[in-house]
Amino acid sequence: MNDDIIGKCWHCGAGLTKLDYGRETACLACGKATRVCLNCRHFARGRPNDCMEPLAERVLDKTRGNFCEFFDPTDRPAAAGTAISPADLARQAAEALFR
């Protein structure tokens, strides 16, 4: 059994192992879902679908567990409360016109 820490919880920062990233697994420290967009290395606020992976299905709630096949844990999770700048909001609206 491998208990090496490979990432951190997006909500509380607790260390997570490979076994902590199941579809319905929650952080033992805070109880929040762990297999979420905010814990993925592909998450990129401001990109289309807030994801660097162009083939990923759209996920509306970035804090809920999902079935994304491109999920890859990161050791630097995004903060849930990170605000989107007005410039990023305008760019997202413009990009949405062409989808």
Q: Is the pTM of this model over 0.75?
A: no
Task: Answer yes or no: are the C-beta atoms of 21 and 28 closer than 8 Å.
Answer: no
Binning pLDDT at 50, 70 and 90, where does residue 1 land? Answer: very low
Own/partner pairs, 77-85, CB within 8 angstroms, 24+ separation: 77/7, 77/8, 77/9, 77/10, 77/13, 77/38, 77/39, 78/10, 78/37, 78/38, 78/43, 78/45, 79/10, 79/38, 80/10, 80/11, 80/38, 82/45, 84/45, 84/46
- Please give the pLDDT value at position 15: 93
Structure confidence at residue 33 (pLDDT): 95
Q: What is the pLDDT of residues 27-78, one digit of tens each?
A: 999 999 999 999 999 999 888 889 999 999 999 999 999 999 999 999 888 8
